[in-house]
Amino acid sequence: MKALRRLITRLNACTFGHRQEERLRQEIEEHLALQTEENVRAGLSLAEARRQAVLKFGAIEAIKEEYRDQRRLPFLETVLRDSRYSIRQLRKFPIFAVTAITILALGIGASTAVYSVAKAAIFAPLPFPSPDRMVLVFEAWLGERFQPGVSNLITVRPGVYQDWREHSHCFKSMAAVQHTQATIMDGDRASVADGLLVDDDFFPTLGVPARLGRYLIPSDYGTNGSRAVVLADRIWRSRYNADRSIVGREITLNGAGYRVVGVMPPGFLPTGSGSDPQFWLPLRWDPATKYSFVLWGNRVYARLNDGVTVAQAQAEMDTVATRMRAARAGDYTFGVIVAPLDKYLFAQHERMFALLLIAVGLVLLIACANVANLFLARALERRREFAVRSALGASSATILRQVLVESLLTALGGGLLGAALSPLLTRPVLALLPAASAIPRLDQVQVDWRVLSFTLIISMIAGLLFGLAPAIRAAGGDVSSGLNARGRGNSLGRSEGRLSDALVVAEIALSLVLLVGGSLLSRAFLRLLHTDPGFRPTKCIALRLAIPNNRYGSYEVGGKNAPRQKLYYRLETSAQSISSVQVAGIAEKLPLRQFWNPWSISIEGRPPAPARDRRSLTSKRWGLPMQGDVSTQPVSPGYFAALGIPLIRGRAFDQHDGPDSPVVAVVNEAMVRKFFANEDPIGKRIVIDMTSYARRMTIVGVAADVRMEGMDSKPLPEVFWPMAQLPSANAWLVARARGDAASVANALDRIVHETDPQIAIVESSMMTQVVGDSLWRERLSTLLVGLFAGIAVLIASGGLYAVIARAVQRRTQELGIRIALGATSLQVAEMVLGHGLSVSATGVVIGSLVALTGYRLLPEQTYQLGDLPWVFAAVGSLLFVLTLIACWVPFRRAVGVDPATTLRSE
Amino acid sequence: MKEQSDVRRGTVALMVLKTLDVLGTLHGYGIARRIEQISGDLLAVNQGTLYLVLLKLEQEGAITSKWGLSDSNRKARFYRLTRKRRKRLEYETRSWEQTVRIMGRFFAAKVEDLK
């Protein structure tokens, strides 16, 4: 308390003037007068009495000084005084200040922008209690383990979920959710929202209260209960204008009324799928399917018991799965994966953000090195000033502090400007991230206090980084040589020269690292861009349709579904009838947008595949020997032509492959390579175990391979069958236009709407766009690292130029003498260029060594070792050319030195 | 070095407080004289430091000060103990006496042990 009270009084004293010092002076005066009187009374002469009094009092000035220090906060005052002085200094040299602040703002602004995106996407904790205790539990092929970004997770069957609940002990609670979609009508326009069906343990497991109203409670799950829905913050704002009276009102989803019981807070539960749920409905288990072992589609959230680690939970679930496999052979051929929720959502993006943060950190470092050089040059210009000040009694600590305060203020200025600039970079970055990127929480990117404190911290670190060396130089200057220095800064000591050379070497080395990284990334990007996707994206457009189950029936066990078959047929024929459409088709899946979702296949007349392929088992359900896995999808007759997928052999589907004719199949080349290496596949009969049904099909054609999972993925073995025979629940309408693909978008939109206004178009994309979006990661890293490398090279070249120019300026007299003694331009060039080239060559060598060890930070598939020599050669020559350009002006100036003038100015 | 002067300044502070407790309102020179009289030449070396102690005590709220006229009709700064502090002083005096007693016994015992 005492200390606090003193602090407050002292703070006050800092702001109130000098009255207090006057008081001390008077007190001392009074004291001495009284003491003198006393001494006179004791018999001393007046002069002696006064002298004795002063002696007895002690060193008056020292007391006064200590009194001042004790009365106020000397440190704060010094800093304030230094700041005022620094601002005056910076204002006196506006070009210097503006240059330094701008360079820093580039580095700090870019860092802030990247950090603000990374923070929202992956750093910020999930918005519920103890998010690190939350896991997702998946089924998986035996022996598979959780790996971020690897699609080895299989959604859970209801029967398996019930078994887990019954037999596991490591979880406090478990909850199952199913993805669902709701068609919402606005007048006669349909739109669609993603949602989740959640069981009654879901909200308590996550433990997040509703921001408005309440979440779903057990009474909402009764069969005769009202239909309750909980809305997400986003749809509440976008569709219901953040109306607080929404709770209790009824809204219409899929043509049925639901009562809104609550609204969840923003950012609640990202799913990592790119489309976060907009609403939550009660998941009512159908008694017929509650224990089903044929329906996949549940995601299981679980909260770990206190003290249980993820590894322990995984171990327990492994034993549960082993027991179940023994007890329920046939139904239970899978293992379990326990995935930490935060890792599941964020880990796959960590590497890219780490890469971007490193790149932007390098830019900041280069900016610091550059500004350090500016300060160093200025410290030299101010040598006289520092020398005078230290001759007048300033300690070297005072000068050090003074210069440091100046650089910290500059850094702060750079930080402020950088924070203001960062949205200029954030917005385009966000625009480069398609929904397909599945990066969570991008709608929550904002500059908040966390981001600002990050900016502040990196600004201060930057200030120390670039301020310390010049400050130490300034403080350590020799007084006499400083005072003797003629004029300004024309005597650059050898060690200062070396220091600023070293800083430029560092700048060039770091730029080279960025250039190499950017080049490798862009090579990879271009290579992928020019990879043949297996279809012709130009003139091709794809519409993703949401077919309402309440009108067309859900996906039936057995695979037949007459209403959907008719709908798809109508959609395809009406799309074909548009004059600007060359050909149209319907498919379950779109290339580049799929994940490997394997189904077991049996080829008639073959024994089961050898046991080493653990996925090839005899299907107990159908009693068939299985040979391996394929990817499957139904497509309509126009599909291959619409996407421009060449047919290699046999035929495509046609209108004769109807619901009642024998089921036929087209396979791709990868499928032929895997299963029919030395045989003719045409006419072969296969059965695919779709778990709930298995139909025999006859292969009638072979299509070319298409990259289904991404441009860098290997083609999967695929089997297609006619939409008319076994239709799918999902549907993409794909059309090839006669002219520009965009020109048919409206017409297709219209025919979908005319066919059924309740069919929503979830997405409408040119296939060229789909190709571009699938490369978002490569495109983003290439553009950003490229941009950063560009900034870096600009700053570094500027730094090189400044150092060479200064060296020439410093040696003006020497050059004058040399030229007077007959040095040729060539010899002058040797001096100037030699300096520039040795600096930049050192930078290139050091940078190359760093780059050679550092390129492994890039994702493996990104770089090809064969690129490295080319990249180094290209980057090296670019830096060589830039060095020549940076040296050109100083060289011209050096050659132009007039010996007469320089020598006379001596 | 620093510690030593802190301890001394701490004892001076207590002396100042006790002086003001006994004599009521007093100016800086008066306090200095009084302490000098009682303590011999403890303060004789450097009377100026007294004003640092006074400032610290005032900042802590132990004493207050205001301008007044001295005996010789000169303007002087008079110091007074605050009421709150007066109560605590009694306790502090006792605890100081106790400390001194303990230290004294401790040193005495040590000297005898050595013999």
How high is the mean pLDDT of chain A? 86
Give me the half-sphere count of Cα atoms (radius 13 Å) on the Cβ side of residue A655: 5
Q: Residue A613 contacts by C-beta under 8 Å, 6 or more apart in sequence?
A: A628
Instruction: Kindly tell me if the per-residue pLDDT of B3 is higher than 50.
Output: no
Q: Is residue A314 located within the same domain as residue A446? A: no
Q: What is the CA radius of gyration of chain B?
A: 16
Is B77 in contact with A26 (Cβ distance < 8 A)? yes
Q: Is residue A707 located within the same domain as residue A560? A: yes
Could you tell me which chain B residue has the CA closest to the CA of A35?
B29
CA-based torsion, A476, A480, A483, A488: positive or negative: negative
Question: Is some CB atom of chain A closer than 8 A to the CB atom of B18?
Answer: no
Nearest CA to A354 among A362, A365, A366? Answer: A362
Write the DSSP symbol of residue A764: E
- Nearest by CB to B48, which of A10, A23, A57? A57
Q: Six-digit token pair at B98?
A: 């106790």
CA separation for the pair A198, A271 (Å, rounded):
13
Q: Is residue A735 located within the same domain as residue A805? A: no
Q: How far is A79 from chain B (nearest CA, A)?
A: 23
Instruction: Kindly tell me if the per-residue pLDDT of B24 is higher than 50.
Output: yes
Q: Six-digit token pair at A270?
A: 């990202």
Q: Is residue A187 located within the same domain as residue A107? A: no
Nearest CA to A637 among A588, A585, A561? Answer: A585
Quickly count: other Cβ atoms within 10 Å of residue A194's Cβ.
20
Residue with tokens 């020599």: A869
Is B56 in contact with A27 (Cβ distance < 8 A)? no
Nearest CA to A164 among A153, A154, A175? Answer: A175
Is A30 in contact with B70 (Cβ distance < 8 A)? yes
Q: Residue B90 contacts by C-beta under 8 Å, 6 or more apart in sequence?
A: none
CA separation for the pair A179, A168 (Å, rounded):
25
- Nearest by CB to B76, which of A10, A30, A58? A30
Give residue A656's region: left, alpha or beta (phi > 0; psi -120 to 50).
alpha
pLDDT of residue A445: 82
Nearest CA to A342 among A156, A212, A150, A148? Answer: A148
Q: Is residue A377 located within the same domain as residue A508? A: no
What element of type H or E holds A291? none
CA separation for the pair B74, A211 (Å, rounded):
73
Read off the pLDDT band of B2 (50, 70, 90): very low
Residue B87, classified by CB atoms within 10 Å of its CB into exposed (0-12), middle (13-18) or buried (19+), is exposed
Nearest CA to A85 among A522, A385, A294, A362? Answer: A385
Chain B hits for A56, Cβ within 8 Å: 44, 47
Q: How far is B14 from chain A (nearest CA, A)?
A: 16
Chain A hits for B56, Cβ within 8 Å: 6, 70
Q: What is the CA radius of gyration of chain A?
A: 38
Measured at the alpha carbon of residue A376, what is the angle toward residues A375 and A377, in degrees to the nearest 5?
Answer: 90
Chain A hits for B75, Cβ within 8 Å: 26, 30
Is B29 in contact with A57 (Cβ distance < 8 A)? no
Give me the half-sphere count of Cα atoms (radius 13 Å) on the Cβ side of residue A860: 0
Nearest CA to A846 among A541, A503, A542, A521? Answer: A503
Is residue A634 in some structural domain?
yes
Decide if B67 contacts B77 (C-beta within 8 A): yes
Chain A hits for B52, Cβ within 8 Å: 63, 66-67, 70
Chain B hits for A27, Cβ within 8 Å: 28, 51, 76-77
pLDDT of residue A765: 93
Is B55 in contact with A9 (Cβ distance < 8 A)? no
Its domain, for residue A839, covers 502-532+771-906
List own/partner pairs for A215-224 with CB under 8 A and 24 or more apart: A215/A261, A215/A262, A215/A264, A215/A280, A216/A261, A216/A280, A216/A282, A220/A261, A220/A282, A221/A282, A221/A284, A223/A284
Is residue A558 in some structural domain?
yes
pLDDT in tens, A63-97: 787 777 777 777 777 778 888 888 888 888 888 88
Is residue A542 in some structural domain?
no
pLDDT of residue A611: 54
Is residue A30 in some structural domain?
yes
CA separation for the pair A113, A363 (Å, rounded):
13
Q: Is residue A68 located within the same domain as residue A80? A: no
User: Nearest 5°: phi and psi at A582?
Assistant: -80, -50
Give me the half-sphere count of Cα atoms (radius 13 Å) on the Cβ side of residue A554: 5
pLDDT in tens, A794-849: 999 999 998 888 888 888 888 888 888 888 888 888 888 888 899 999 999 999 99
CATH class held by domain B2-82: mainly alpha
Q: Is residue A655 located within the same domain as residue A599? A: yes
Task: Round to the nearest angstrom and report the end-to-end CA distance of chain A.
Answer: 66
Is residue A683 in some structural domain?
yes
Is A60 in contact with B75 (Cβ distance < 8 A)? no
Could you tell me which chain A residue has the CA closest to the CA of B65?
A23
Cα→Cα distances A388→A340, A384, A392, A863, Å: 64, 6, 6, 57
Q: Is residue A43 located within the same domain as residue A15? A: yes
Residue with tokens 């001194």: B100
**Domains held by chain A: number:** 5
Q: Residue length, chain B?
A: 115
Q: How far is B41 from chain A (nearest CA, A)?
A: 11
Distance of CA A398 to the CA centre of its chain: 43
CA separation for the pair A723, A566 (Å, rounded):
10
Quickly count: other Cβ atoms within 10 Å of residue A549's Cβ.
15
Domain residue limits, chain B? 2-82
Q: Is residue A419 located within the same domain as residue A506? A: no
From chain A, which residues contact B within 8 Å (Cβ)?
2, 5-6, 9-10, 23-24, 26-28, 30-31, 33-35, 37-38, 56-60, 62-63, 66-67, 70-71
Q: Residue length, chain A?
A: 906
Q: What is the pTM of this model?
A: 0.78
Q: Which of A425, A459, A491 is the last residue of a domain?
A: A491
Is B45 in contact with A58 (Cβ distance < 8 A)? yes
Residues of chain A with pLDDT under 70: 1-2, 13-20, 224-226, 274, 330, 477-496, 554-560, 609-622, 691, 860-863, 903-906
Chain B hits for A58, Cβ within 8 Å: 45-49
Quickly count: other Cβ atoms within 10 Å of residue A471's Cβ.
24
- Nearest by CB to B51, which of A5, A24, A33? A24
- Nearest by CB to B49, which of A5, A26, A58? A58
Is A63 in contact with B32 (Cβ distance < 8 A)? no
CA separation for the pair A565, A554 (Å, rounded):
12
Nearest CA to A872 among A857, A843, A851? Answer: A851
Could you tell me which chain B residue has the CA closest to the CA of A61?
B48
Chain B hits for A37, Cβ within 8 Å: 72
Is residue A730 in some structural domain?
yes
Cα→Cα distances A290→A159, A323, A817, Å: 6, 20, 97
